[in-house]
Amino acid sequence: SQQGEEDPQALSIQEGENATMNCSYKTSINNLQWYRQNSGRGLVHLILIRSNEREKHSGRLRVTLDTSKKSSSLLITASRAADTASYFCATDGYGGSQGNLIFGKGTKLSVKP
């Protein structure tokens, strides 16, 4: 079963606009990660936020985490056509030792030039 659920499923914006994607999950976590995937290729790691962190920045990316609401958001500022991709959140299982990441179905972002 999938723990994370991204919202919206698809997002279309103009270049230069900001894009916000949300992720909700069901169980407690140690950390949450965001990945990008271009056209069915491999996943690129974007950012990891730990359960004791509330916000993290990396370049044009800003991630927030609200463990009380079991939700996270990914903000991409000043989007570019090259940001067109699918974005996935992935969580671990709190206290789990299997080492697996649990992914949602992703948000498909389209940035029009």
Q: Per CB under 8 A, which region of 14-22, 39-47, 59-67, 77-85 contacts other proteins?
A: 39-47
Choice between 15 and 73, CB closer to other proteins? 73
Cα 24 from Cα 6, distance rounded (Å) = 7
**103 is a contact residue toward other proteins (CB under 8 A):** yes
Smallest gap from Cβ 40 to other proteins, in A, equals 6
27 is a contact residue toward other proteins (CB under 8 A): no
Cα(30)–Cα(39) distance, integer angstroms: 29
**DSSP per-residue letters across 25-58:** -SS--SEEEEEEE-TT--EEEEEEEETT-SEEEE
Which residues contact other proteins (rule: CB under 8 A)? 2, 4, 30-31, 33, 35, 40-45, 48, 88, 92-93, 96-106
